[in-house]
Structures are given as structure tokens and as C-alpha cells.
Structure 1
Amino acid sequence: MSEKIKYISVLRGINVGGKRKILMADLKNMYADLGFTNCISYIQSGNVIFEYQNVANSKLEAKLEDAISEKYGFEVPVIVRSVKEWKQTLKTNPYVGIHENNSLYLSFLNETPKTELTEALSELNYGPDSFQIIDKDVFIYCPGPYHKTKLSNQFFESKLKVKTTTRNWNTVLKLLELIKQE
């Protein structure tokens, strides 16, 4: 068996408005049952840090999505990043230092979208909100309430033809902090 590395998984659309409810303790137990170790969850929106052998993120995503569907009876998109990828994403954010953290968001994409789709989307303007797509990340600046922006998960999924889930920048930073505390 290959060496274990740390990952972070982010689930989309659980525990929102009382729908698609998953208790974090149950989720952590499910991860453990799948062979993941040192599982740590953060807040109720489905953020889990774990260790597992070094495999493709897409394999972990499929494994988790299948397990959630089987256990809970509903589909939940899951996006996985290695800690190394997570740290690189933090370094890449073009808005850090320019805008306040509470106006920044990160949409995680499950794969790098096709160039022609990102180029077409990059030409659109949704001011005062703005975004930049870099590899499998969409960095978002949203000065108003996020729930009012057009730059939602559904927007990016329909335009880029990929799965996505979004976290506020403070949550992204907190997950890295939890990794460093171990």
C-alpha cells in the first residue's frame, strides 16, 4: 500500500434549510468505514480532512459520492483536494490582499474546464462581483451578500460543464489551520 497523504473533501448542498441532512459525526464514521483515517470535520456544511493512500482525487470523489448515495439515499457532489493542492490554491488567489477576506469566496471545480468555456465566461461582466478561473478553482470577489450574486454553483456548473461547490475564504483558511494543528 502506498504512503498516506492528507486530503480535504468539500460536500455540496448538505444541511441547508433542513434538507439533505447529514450529521458530521455520522459522516466521519462513514469516512472511517471507507478506510480513511484521522478524519476531522469542520462546521455542518460537509468539510472533512482525512488521510488516505495517494490516489487520484476523482477516485476519492466517486467513492465518497457512491457511499453517501448508498447510505443517505440522495446525491451529493464531493470535491477532493490534497493538502498540497489546497496550499497552492491559497497562494494563487488573485484577490487576497486587495479585498477583505469576508468578500472572498472559492468555488472548487471537480476538473479543469475546457479552455473555450473559460474564455467565453471570462468575457462576461457581473459587476460589482468578479471572478477569475485558475485551473480547478474559481476565485470570487463578492462585495455584497453571496446569496444574491449570479456567480453561484449552478452558474459555474452550467457555463463550465463541471461540478462545483463554494466556500467562503475564511472557511478555506480555517481548514488549512486545522491541518497545521495536527
Structure 2
Amino acid sequence: MRTHVALLRGINVGGSGKVPMAELRRLLAERGFTDVATYIQSGNVVLTSTDPEPATVAAAVEEVLREDFAVPRPVVVFGREEYLAAVEANPFPQVTEPKQLHVVFRAAPPDDAELARLDAAVTIERTKGGQEDAAVVGRVVYLHLPDGIGRSALAVRVSAKTTAADGGGTVRNWATVRKLAELLG
């Protein structure tokens, strides 16, 4: 058995993609997942599976969303060790305000074109005198956004230009990232 973190993109946000967490937990348990727990309403799931492959777990959760809720959304899954390593790899440890640090969890690492767009977005930010920054470690993109994500030109540039199959992944603020790490034990 292997523990995973499943991050559902665009769930219960802005009145669309409604997925009741209690119902999601029940349906995942019916499909053989165990120790299913959710954190807040925005699609954060910790579960245990007999399948060690994150991509297979992601496909199974996507199937539940599509078939049982009619909400086709990408799901990004990290195994416990990979998730905890991503938390430890935080390239912005000096950021103590959780709303200033966001993490984009990806199904796959950004390709060369995506990395070039990210570098260009950071360069534009620097040229304008901004303090926002980004760093990539594997399939995780860390965004340091001193004024928060709602006012971030960098976040807009990064998300608006993605062509990745996972839609560019799914974003969580640092408080949520840490809470999920706690749930992993």
C-alpha cells in the first residue's frame, strides 16, 4: 500500500466544478482506496492505494470526477515521499507568509518551451521592478508572490501561456501545502 496526495484542479471554485468532499471520500473508498481524507473544499485528497503509480491513481480519481460528478478535471498525484521532498525543496524558505508562496504541482515537469516562457515572465517582472520570482524543481513550480496571487502579473503570465496537457498543473498556497504534509504524517 502506498499513500498519495491527489490534487484536483478547479474543484468547488467560483460556483463551478462542484464536488462534495464527503461524497468524493465515499466514492473513492468504494473504488478500493483506503485512508481517504480531504482537506478543505478545493480538492485536496490524501489516500492509500495498492497501486504505487501516481499516474494510475490520477486516472482513477479523474474517472470518479467525470463519471460520478460530471466534472472532468485534471488530477495531479504525488506519492508521499515525492510530496514531502517537494515541501523540503522549497527554494524560498525565507518567505514566512503562506499567502506569498504558491506551489504549482504538475503531472510532468515543464518542457523546454514552458521553462522559456517562465524565464521570460520572470524577466518581465524584473524589468518592471517587481519582486515576484519563480523556481522549478522537477515537476513542481514555486511562485514567490509578495503581493499574493490575486494581484500577481507573474501568475497571470505563467497560467495564461501554458499548453501543458495538465493545464499547467494545479496551484496551492503554502499553508495548504504544509497542511497536506501534516496529514501525510
Band of TM-score, shorter chain? 0.7 to 0.9
Q: Is 2:25–2:36's contact at 8 Å kept on the other side of the alignment? A: yes
Which 4+ residue blocks in structure 1 deviate beyond 6 angstroms? none
Alpha carbons 1:106, 1:139 under 8 Å: kept: yes
Stretch deviating more after TM superposition (108-117 or 171-180): 108-117
Gaps of 5+ in 2: none
Please, which runs of 5 or more residues in structure 1 have no aligned partner? none
User: Could you tell me whether the CA contact under 8 Å between 1:106 and 1:167 is conserved in 2?
Assistant: yes
Rounded to whole Å, the distance in 2 between the matches of 1:145 and 1:112 is: 24
Matched, 1:128 2:125: no
2, 16, 23: which is aligned to 1:26?
Answer: 23
CA 1:40–1:179: 2 relative to 1, 3 Å: same
CA 1:130 to 1:162, structure 2 compared with 1: closer, same or farther past 3 Å? farther
Which segment drifts farther, 9-18 or 92-101?
92-101
Residue by residue, what CA displacement relative to the aligned partner does 1:90-133 show, whole Å, maximum 9, x if unpaired?
A: 11111012453331110001111223431442243233321111
Paired amino acid for 2:182? E
| Structure-2 separation of matches of 1:62 and 1:154 | 28
- Is contact 2:132-2:146 (8 Å) kept? yes
**What number of residue pairs does the alignment pair up?**
177
For 1:4-23, list aligned pairs within 5 A. Answer: 4-23=1-20
1:76-91 pair list within 5 angstroms:
76-91=73-88
- With structure 1 as the length reference, what TM-score do the two structures score? 0.88
Moved more, 150-159 or 20-29: 150-159
Distance (whole Å) between structure 2 residues aligned to residue 56 and residue 154 of structure 1: 32
